[in-house]
């Protein structure tokens, strides 16, 4: 494989104070980003949060109302799209049906009069493991294979920055999962900078080194996937990256190590380093898989938070784990994912139970949801 010819050609991307206003609507507000060269960066957020607009701004298809865009340290804010070292892969990959796969990939190179287009197209096809199908027409390939051709076409002229706008959205779930891993491997091999846009949290977390969670035209939180999942700062991020249990309460004590919160008359602790707010009304969160379920009140332990008794209102057994819904007076309905250590659920609908979790797994949010 000729991956070395691709390597080390990525560029960093910096967005400074980007704003994009459409008539009567602000799509992006004061967006600041620094994406290191050669990284796989995901912009994650719900429909309409401004992901595609951000990509279009970077590609030069939209002009920002304010702010600057730098690629490889060079200000490209006023540079024409075709003069930016950028290529985009869209969800609809529109290959030319009358051309072979090889010709599809070589097309852009020929137009730009790049030397040796055929060898370079073969090289890109080898990278996506489709060189053996180079002579076929697009309609003779599966959806996943066509998407890989689109990727080969986008990387063949070695853009410093590759923009991916929901490129796997048209594929079925199984193929999408497979392509996620392949994309990641290809990105590592070519060393280009990938900016990937998706509304699928699992996709973003599987592939990206860094994920930025977008909400209403702004970045709400940015970090490594594990860090975002383990320590979300807001209710939006906590809920967007999987299920969370959120408890609202009031701070009763704040020390150098811990914030103690009164949740429905019960004291719940959050390590100070994991608490965004240290006074007043706060929200404490914990992921469902961090909870243990008990049929008897657990012994007092300063290292664990305990809520209960509550009543099991639903049990769903899935083999690997069991999901319990437990209604706890004053605290709401709690979701527990429990690994089945014995065969079958340990509690049933109507049972009275307690839940507990390691204090270290609590997180304290910056906001109090409605
Ligand atoms: P999706 O996942 O649905 O593609 P997105 O996060 O990519 O959503 P954008 O396409 O960036 O969202 O759109 C952000 C917001 O800007 C939306 O509310 C959209 O309606 C608005 N918007 C986008 N383009 C225009 C335009 N040309 N004129 C007016 N409003 C626009």
Q: What is the pLDDT of residue 23?
A: 94
- Determine whether 39 is exposed, middle or buried from the number of CB atoms within 10 Å of its CB (0-12, 13-18, 19+): middle
Q: Whose Cα sits closest to atom 17 in ligand 1?
A: 48
**Can you tell me the distance from the alpha carbon of 95 to that of 282, in angstroms, rounded to the nearest whole number?**
52
Pocket lining: 46 vs ligand 1, CB cutoff 6 Å: no
Q: Are the C-beta atoms of 240 and 213 separated by less than 8 Å? A: yes
pLDDT band at 93 (very low <50, low <70, confident <90, very high): confident
**Can you tell me the distance from the alpha carbon of 103 to that of 336, in angstroms, rounded to the nearest whole number?**
54
pLDDT digits (tens, 9 = 90+) for 27-71: 999 999 999 999 999 999 999 999 999 999 999 999 999 999 999
Pocket lining: 50 vs ligand 1, CB cutoff 6 Å: yes
Q: What is the pLDDT of residue 342?
A: 64
Predicted-complex ipTM score: 0.95
pLDDT band at 186 (very low <50, low <70, confident <90, very high): confident
Q: Are the C-beta atoms of 209 and 41 separated by less than 8 Å? A: yes
Longest dimension (CA), the chain: 75
Å from CA of 48 to ligand 1 middle: 5
Q: Whose Cα sits closest to atom 30 in ligand 1?
A: 22
DSSP class of residue 3 equals G
Mean pLDDT of the chain: 91
| pTM of the full structure | 0.89
Q: In what order do the strands lie in the sheet with 292-294?
A: 292-294, 352-358, 304-317, 321-328, 332-339
pLDDT digits (tens, 9 = 90+) for 278-336: 999 999 999 999 999 999 999 989 899 999 999 999 999 887 889 999 999 999 999 99
Q: Whose Cα sits closest to atom 29 in ligand 1?
A: 22
pLDDT at 5 over 70: no
Q: What is the pLDDT of residue 6?
A: 47
Show the domains of the chain with their CATH numbers. 3-230 (3.40.50.300), 240-364 (2.40.50.140)
Share of the chain above pLDDT 90, in %: 75
Pocket lining: 20 vs ligand 1, CB cutoff 6 Å: no
Pocket lining: 49 vs ligand 1, CB cutoff 6 Å: yes
Give alpha helix (H) positions in 128-252. 143-155, 173-190, 201-207, 225-230, 235-240
**Can you tell me the distance from the alpha carbon of 183 to that of 196, in angstroms, rounded to the nearest whole number?**
10
**Can you tell me the distance from the alpha carbon of 252 to that of 270, in angstroms, rounded to the nearest whole number?**
12
**Can you tell me the distance from the alpha carbon of 41 to that of 104, in angstroms, rounded to the nearest whole number?**
27
Average pLDDT over residues 359-369: 94
* Beta-strand relationship, 86-90 and 161-165: parallel
**Can you tell me the distance from the alpha carbon of 58 to that of 52, in angstroms, rounded to the nearest whole number?**
10
**Which residues have CB under 8 Å from 98's CB, separation 6+?**
137
**Which residues have CB under 8 Å from 7's CB, separation 6+?**
189, 190, 191
* Beta-strand relationship, 193-198 and 40-44: parallel
């Amino acid at each position: 494989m000729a991956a070395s010819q691709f390597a080390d050609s990525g560029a960093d991307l910096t967005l400074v104070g980007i704003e994009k206003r459409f008539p009567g609507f602000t799509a992006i507000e004061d967006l600041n980003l620094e994406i290191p060269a050669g990284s796989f960066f995901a912009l994650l957020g719900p429909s309409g949060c401004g992901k595609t607009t951000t990509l279009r701004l970077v590609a030069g298809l939209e002009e920002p109302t304010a702010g600057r865009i730098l690629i490889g340290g060079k200000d490209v804010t006023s540079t024409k799209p075709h003069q930016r070292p950028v290529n985009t892969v869209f969800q609809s990959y529109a290959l030319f049906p009358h051309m072979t796969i090889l010709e599809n990939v070589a097309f852009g190179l020929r137009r730009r009069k790049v030397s040796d287009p055929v060898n370079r197209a073969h090289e890109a096809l080898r990278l996506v493991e489709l060189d053996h199908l180079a002579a076929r027409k697009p309609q003779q390939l599966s959806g996943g294979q066509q998407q890989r051709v689109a990727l080969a076409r986008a990387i063949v002229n070695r853009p410093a920055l590759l923009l991916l706008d929901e490129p796997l959205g048209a594929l079925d779930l199984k193929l999408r999962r497979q392509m996620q891993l392949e994309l990641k491997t290809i990105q590592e091999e070519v060393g280009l900078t990938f900016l990937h846009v998706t509304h699928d949290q699992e996709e973003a977390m599987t592939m990206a080194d860094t994920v930025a969670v977008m909400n209403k035209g702004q970045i709400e939180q940015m970090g490594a996937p594990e860090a975002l999942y383990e320590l979300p700062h807001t209710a939006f991020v906590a809920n967007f990256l999987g299920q969370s249990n959120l408890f609202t309460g009031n701070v009763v004590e704040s020390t150098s190590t811990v914030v103690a919160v009164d949740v429905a008359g019960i004291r719940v602790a959050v390590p100070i380093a994991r608490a965004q707010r240290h006074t007043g009304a706060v929200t404490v969160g914990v992921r469902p898989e961090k909870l243990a379920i008990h049929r008897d009140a657990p012994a007092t332990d300063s290292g664990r938070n305990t809520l209960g008794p509550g009543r099991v209102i639903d049990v769903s057994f899935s083999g690997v784990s069991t999901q319990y819904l437990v209604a706890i007076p004053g605290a709401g309905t709690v979701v527990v994912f429990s690994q089945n250590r014995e065969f079958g659920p340990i509690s049933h609908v109507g049972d009275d139970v307690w839940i507990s979790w390691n204090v270290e797994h609590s997180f304290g949010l910056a906001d109090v949801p409605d």
